């Protein structure tokens, strides 16, 4: 893949497009952006569109808009007045063919490496374009060109601009950065108190960011999280954090058990059961009502578990024990594991247990294990073991297991 040629082609096409717009006159442009690059692992790594906007156009098209944060329409190219498909015809037809072939030739790791280099390449083109037009009379003094990600990631956009440009244009995000630095200088207990106070906030340091910090640094926040669990109108965030932070102390377990039994809202009871599952409180969960037992004992298979301070390791034994002891939960376990198939991210540590799961007397576990072994990101030796296990599973007594195994075998053999 000729990355320099792609960078130059993006720069040339965007420069010509922007120059044409500027030659037409009008109010000064405050920003331009590459955007709308759709990316799907082992499928597509699409070339971006290009957009630009002026403050006058922003005011005319969105007169009620006052937000200037990076998530606002001011910085969302999809909402801008001028938007072009610049990556059409030559040389982009050839470069796009090269890009897709390069990204998809050797499996997930190759695609991920290609995506990283692609992000750098587009960001470099944006930075060069910003320098080229920085002194043009048709742009504002703070004019910036950036790469806008479909997920709204400002970290990617910052690659395209200087520190001065970031601070001039993004006062909201600059204030958030300053707050992070100030909080990081505090004693750990005060940091914990701050992040607990932000758990239910959408602006500034958001609840999502607070959750990440508290999961990684849960111990000094334990008492405050238990207080939120017991008294806050929305206690599910505290329950999730206590579980994912691995805080299996007696006060935590007792508080979560109490909420499982006493909470008025079913989501609260379920999230507390999940947290107890993350903390492996299986003996107690085994004795609870069917919905709680299933929610807690199957919790370690869900996608949230990957956010924990310790990565999960596949373990079917608690589920097997539940299925062996309580016949009335079989249908619910089947449904729970089926819902979680797409959330498996099997690693080297999980392969042996997944292979053992293929031999389980329980169809739900065999089917789940077969799905988990369908992972083209496994190391070569593990992939060979997975392929052999899936090949055997295509002869399973259950049709649904055979189907999942066949799909997985076909995918794994494309490596």
Question: Measuring CA to CA, which residue among 83, 62, 41, 70 is closest to residue 144?
Answer: 70
Q: Are residues 163 and 97 in the same domain?
A: yes
Does 122 reside within a domain?
yes
Average of per-residue pLDDT values in the chain: 93
How far apart are the C-alpha atoms of 57 and 73, rounded to whole Å?
12
Q: What is the pLDDT of residue 152?
A: 65
Q: What is the pLDDT of residue 402?
A: 97
pLDDT band for position 213 (50/70/90)? very high
pLDDT tens by residue, 313-353: 999 999 999 999 999 999 999 999 887 765 677 888 999 99
Q: Phi and psi (nearest 5°) for 7?
A: -60, -45
pLDDT value at 377 more than 90: no
Does 152 reside within a domain?
yes
Q: At what angle do helices 380-393 and 399-412 cross, to 10 degrees?
A: 150
Q: What is the pLDDT of residue 311?
A: 84
Does 180 reside within a domain?
no
Q: What is the pLDDT of residue 131?
A: 96
Q: Are residues 95 and 34 in the same domain?
A: yes
Q: Phi and psi (nearest 5°) for 50?
A: -140, 135
Q: Are residues 151 and 297 in the same domain?
A: no
Q: At what angle do helices 188-197 and 171-184 cross, to 10 degrees?
A: 140
166: burial class by Cβ within 10 Å (0-12, 13-18, 19+)? buried
SS (H, E, C) the chain: CCHHHHHHHHHHHHHHHHHHHHHCCCCCEEEEEEECCCEECCCEECCCEEEEEEHHHHHHHCCCCCCCCCCCHHHCHHHCCEEECCCCCCCHHHHHHHHHHHHCCCCHHHHHHHHHHHHHHHHHHHHHHHHHHCCCCCEEEEEEEEECCCCCCHHHHHCCCCHHHHHHHCHHHHHHHHHHHHHHCCCHHHHHHHHHHCCCCCCCCCHHHHHHHHHHCCHHHHHHHHHHHHHCCCCHHHHHHHHHCCCCCHHHHHHHHHHHHHCCCHHHHHHHHHHHHHCCCHHHHHCCCHHHHHHHHCHHHCHHHHHCCCCCCCCCHHHHHHHHHCHHHHHHHHHHHHHCHHHCCCCHHHHHHHHHHCCCCCHHHHHHHHHHCCCCCCCHHHHHHHHHHHHHHCCCCCHHHHHHHHHHHHHHCCC
Contact 229, 255 (CB under 8 A): yes
Q: Which domain holds residue 222?
A: 186-312
How far apart are the C-alpha atoms of 54 and 15, rounded to whole Å?
17
Q: Are residues 378 and 262 in the same domain?
A: no
Q: Are residues 161 and 24 in the same domain?
A: yes
Q: Are residues 13 and 92 in the same domain?
A: yes
Q: Residue range 367-394: average pLDDT?
A: 94
Q: Are residues 53 and 41 in the same domain?
A: yes
Per-residue tokens: 360: 């389980």
Contact 346, 316 (CB under 8 A): no
Q: What is the pLDDT of residue 59?
A: 96
Q: What is the pLDDT of residue 203?
A: 87
Contact 49, 72 (CB under 8 A): no
pLDDT tens by residue, 113-153: 999 999 999 999 999 999 999 999 999 999 999 999 877 68
Q: Are residues 253 and 365 in the same domain?
A: no
Q: What is the pLDDT of residue 342?
A: 59
Contact 73, 88 (CB under 8 A): no
pLDDT tens by residue, 386-401: 999 999 999 999 999 9
Q: Residue range 196-206: average pLDDT?
A: 93
Does 39 reside within a domain?
yes
Q: What is the dihedral of CA 206, 207, 211, 217, to 10 degrees?
A: 60
**Would you tell me how many other CB atoms lie within 10 Å of the CB of residue 333?**
23
Q: What is the pLDDT of residue 341?
A: 62
**Would you tell me how many other CB atoms lie within 10 Å of the CB of residue 324?**
10
Does 179 reside within a domain?
no
Q: CA distances (Å), 28 to each of 22, 129, 252, 358, in order? A: 8, 16, 58, 64
Residue 308's domain is classified under what CATH number?
Answer: 1.25.40
Structural domains counted in the chain:
3
Q: What is the dihedral of CA 71, 74, 77, 82, to 10 degrees?
A: 170
pLDDT band for position 256 (50/70/90)? very high
Q: Among 126, 143, 171, give the residue marking a domain's end.
A: 171
Does 59 reside within a domain?
yes
Q: Are residues 24 and 167 in the same domain?
A: yes
Q: Are residues 164 and 198 in the same domain?
A: no
Q: Residue range 268-275: average pLDDT?
A: 96
Q: Among 262, 293, 312, give the residue marking a domain's end.
A: 312
Does 346 reside within a domain?
yes
5-22 burial: b if 16+ Cβ within 10 Å, else e: ebbbbbbebbbebbeebb
Q: What is the pLDDT of residue 343?
A: 61
Q: Are residues 99 and 115 in the same domain?
A: yes
pLDDT band for position 299 (50/70/90)? very high
Q: Among 113, 141, 171, give the residue marking a domain's end.
A: 171
pLDDT tens by residue, 23-52: 998 899 999 999 999 988 878 899 999 999
pTM of the model: 0.85
Q: Are residues 204 and 281 in the same domain?
A: yes
Does 162 reside within a domain?
yes
How far apart are the C-alpha atoms of 323 and 282, rounded to whole Å?
13
């Amino acid at each position: 893949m000729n990355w320099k040629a792609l960078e130059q082609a993006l720069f040339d096409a965007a420069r010509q497009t922007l120059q044409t717009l500027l030659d037409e006159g009008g109010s000064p442009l405050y920003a331009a952006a590459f955007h709308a690059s759709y990316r799907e692992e082992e499928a597509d790594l699409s070339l971006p569109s290009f957009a630009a906007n002026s403050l006058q156009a922003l005011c005319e098209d969105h007169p009620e808009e006052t937000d200037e944060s990076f998530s606002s329409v001011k910085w969302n190219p999809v909402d801008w007045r001028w938007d072009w498909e610049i990556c059409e015809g030559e040389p982009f037809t050839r470069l796009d063919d090269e890009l897709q072939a390069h990204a998809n030739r050797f499996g997930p790791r190759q695609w991920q490496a290609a995506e990283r280099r692609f992000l750098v390449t587009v960001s470099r083109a944006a930075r060069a374009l910003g320098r080229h037009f920085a002194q043009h009379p048709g742009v504002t003094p703070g004019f910036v060109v950036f790469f806008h990600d479909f997920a709204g990631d400002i970290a990617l956009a910052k690659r395209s601009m200087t520190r001065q440009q970031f601070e001039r244009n993004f006062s909201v995000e600059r204030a958030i950065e300053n707050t992070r630095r100030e909080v990081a200088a505090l004693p750990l207990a005060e940091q914990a108190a701050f992040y607990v106070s932000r758990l239910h906030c959408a602006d500034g340091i958001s609840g999502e960011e607070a959750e990440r910090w508290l999961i990684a640094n849960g111990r000094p926040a334990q008492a405050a999280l238990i207080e939120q669990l017991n008294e806050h109108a929305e206690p599910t965030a505290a329950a999730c954090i206590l579980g994912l932070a691995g805080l299996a102390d007696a006060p935590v377990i007792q508080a979560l058990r109490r909420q499982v039994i006493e909470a008025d809202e079913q989501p609260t009871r379920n999230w507390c059961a999940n947290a107890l599952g993350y903390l492996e409180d299986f003996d107690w969960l085994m004795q609870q009502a069917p919905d709680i037992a299933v929610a807690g004992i199957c919790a370690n298979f869900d996608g949230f578990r990957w956010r924990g301070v310790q990565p999960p390791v596949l373990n079917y034994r608690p589920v097997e024990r539940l299925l062996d002891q309580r016949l009335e939960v079989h249908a619910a376990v089947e449904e729970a594991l089926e819902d979680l198939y797409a959330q498996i991210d099997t690693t080297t540590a999980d392969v042996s247990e997944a292979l053992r799961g293929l031999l389980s007397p329980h169809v739900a576990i065999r089917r789940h294990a077969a799905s988990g072994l369908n992972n083209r990101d496994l190391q070569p030796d593990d992939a060979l073991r997975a392929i052999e296990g899936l090949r055997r599973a295509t002869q399973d007594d259950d049709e649904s297991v055979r189907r999942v195994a066949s799909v997985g075998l076909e995918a794994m053999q494309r490596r």
